Structure 1
């Protein structure tokens, strides 16, 4: 019997790169988790825990309102406590920065200046250090208050009264921040100097919103509800997410529902929508799962 091939070893493009993070809450730690997965040596510096809190209480708000998320985000990452308003801890920070390749922050620019961590001062003191600065909005808007929900709303991604299913701007911003770390490392290999990379959560939301600005996910768009093969329908005992978008998948769905398929216009016809909805409403999740397997139809049933 031929042995199964071994999986290729995971790429570690940041092996040997030292990253120090001051970023709290979600985007920074989520970026740090990905940066560590790419091989970087990561240290997270947090403020001391709240006064009166038990010893060891995290100074990151995430550690206080969702311990499980905090534990996952920081698995395998060294966490130290630093009071950046303390002269002693400022000295300790700069000693650490002497041995650091990339500093990750999530403060407003004015807060960084108050902590004597503005880019100009840092670059003069640590010329090979790069900074990836996560902000809410870019440029002059970086001082504006905001959060994931407001950035999604500004990008047109809040379409009703329900909250979005996840924190898209925060997690998208984390991806962009880990990408910025890669950019900073590559740039230093060419120039020998550190660089400043700004990552705005509002830009992350705007990037995720591009399909909507193109009309793809509007109600008139193919993946916004206009195509009968790309919708969420009720079924007999739950819901079913159908993604039969390509003509061969749409034809298979129409065939299963007993609908003549005459071309790419068929899934756009109101009659097709009604017929597919009626067909799915009369089937159980188990029946639809079996149908998907037998007819090669991309769908996923939901409770």
Structure 2
């Protein structure tokens, strides 16, 4: 159930974002849903996302004021400074050396706007923050790719956006208590490394509990050549599944034979009636 803006936790919070492409817009969109007022500042050439995916761009920019400013121009920088005077949070995604040239590094911003907090999205942490990269290269280094397949979802960008929101709300909370803004850096390469810990720890990946090693957590073909996703992990779900299917032992061969008895929609209805975690597999999305 949605809530009104007045009831939203970030109602009254003013955000300025200079971050184009994907992590910044996704984070800004999420902040809007939480009640924040967001001004999206774009360069004269616009946000590259608007060219790559116009529909996604419009979806993510919904509810925001979009301003076009040339920050390489004195008038553009002056207009930005006016926006920052009343802002609580600034989101950036330029490399540190680019921000320094514009006078937008934290060391420059904080004295001018002591109440303002900043979340800086970078590719790599620490001294490597100026090193170029994108979601694909971050995933490559983290070991989450299966060449030559391209990733279906940009994990670094989308998970990084959620980290931006988390760090932003922490900064806003701190500022509300201290009266002083703070700074956080979100390194997208580190976001993927953190996510890949599930693979390094043996939870995900081929043959692991969430990667095919557990028969009751997998994808099965159905009688109509469709597919269902079964996610019975907890003992009570596994026990009920076996009882309802009449399958013993609960191995992959037995489950494959059982699920070939009905079509995928029939299985989903069957599972809903028995409170079991099973869903039909939606065909892969195509743009």
Question: Do both proteins adopt the same fold according to a TM-score greater than 0.5, normalized to the shorter chain?
Answer: yes
Q: What corresponds to 2:15 in structure 1?
A: 19
* CA offsets 1:9-30 (integer angstroms, 9 cap, x no match): 6752222111111000111011
Q: Per the alignment, in what secondary structure is the counterpart of residue 240 of structure 1?
A: strand
* CA offsets 1:142-192 (integer angstroms, 9 cap, x no match): 111111122223222223432222122111111111111111111212332
Aligned partners of 1:229 and 1:245 also within 8 Å? yes
Whether 1:298 aligns to 2:286 is no
Instruction: Tell me, in whole angstroms, the C-alpha distance in 2 between the residues paired with 1:227 and 1:256.
Output: 19
Unaligned runs of 5+ in 1: 1-5, 50-58, 262-266
Aligned partners of 1:257 and 1:275 also within 8 Å? no
Q: Per the alignment, in what secondary structure is the counterpart of residue 185 of structure 2?
A: strand
Aligned partners of 2:217 and 2:230 also within 8 Å? yes
Select which of 216, 236, 249 maps to 1:248: 236
CA pair 143-246 structure 1, distance change in 2 beyond 3 A: same
> Superposition pairs for residues 40-59 of structure 1, below 5 Å?
40-49=36-45, 59=46
Instruction: Tell me, in whole angstroms, the C-alpha distance in 1 between the residues paired with 2:58 and 2:13.
Output: 23
Whether 1:283 aligns to 2:262 is yes
Unaligned runs of 5+ in 2: none
> Superposition pairs for residues 51-130 of structure 1, below 5 Å?
59-130=46-117
Select which of 165, 169, 184 maps to 1:178: 165
Instruction: Tell me, in whole angstroms, the C-alpha distance in 2 between the residues paired with 1:85 and 1:9.
Output: 38
Q: What corresponds to 2:120 in structure 1?
A: 133
Instruction: Tell me, in whole angstroms, the C-alpha distance in 1 between the residues paired with 2:73 and 2:190.
Output: 34
CA pair 32-139 structure 1, distance change in 2 beyond 3 A: same
Q: Per the alignment, in what secondary structure is the counterpart of residue 166 of structure 2?
A: helix
* CA offsets 1:73-101 (integer angstroms, 9 cap, x no match): 11110011100100111111112211211
Range with greater deviation from structure 2 (273-282 or 143-152): 273-282
Range with greater deviation from structure 2 (288-297 or 171-180): 288-297
* CA offsets 1:223-274 (integer angstroms, 9 cap, x no match): 221111001122222111111222222233334444325xxxxx4xxxx111
- CA RMSD of superposed structures (Å): 2.0
Instruction: Tell me, in whole angstroms, the C-alpha distance in 2 between the residues paired with 1:143 and 1:173.
Output: 17
Range with greater deviation from structure 2 (208-217 or 251-260): 251-260
* Number of aligned positions between the proteins: 280
How far apart are 1:7 and its partner, in Å? 7.7
Aligned partners of 1:254 and 1:276 also within 8 Å? no
Aligned partners of 1:252 and 1:296 also within 8 Å? no
Q: What corresponds to 1:30 in structure 2?
A: 26
Q: What corresponds to 1:56 in structure 2?
A: none
Q: Per the alignment, in what secondary structure is the counterpart of residue 257 of structure 2?
A: helix
How far apart are 1:8 and its partner, in Å? 6.7
Q: Per the alignment, in what secondary structure is the counterpart of residue 221 of structure 2?
A: strand
Instruction: Tell me, in whole angstroms, the C-alpha distance in 1 between the residues paired with 2:81 and 2:197.
Output: 40
CA pair 21-290 structure 1, distance change in 2 beyond 3 A: closer
Instruction: Tell me, in whole angstroms, the C-alpha distance in 2 between the residues paired with 1:182 and 1:228.
Output: 40
> TM-score, normalization: structure 2?
0.90
Range with greater deviation from structure 2 (157-166 or 238-247): 157-166
Instruction: Tell me, in whole angstroms, the C-alpha distance in 2 between the residues paired with 1:112 and 1:63.
Output: 23
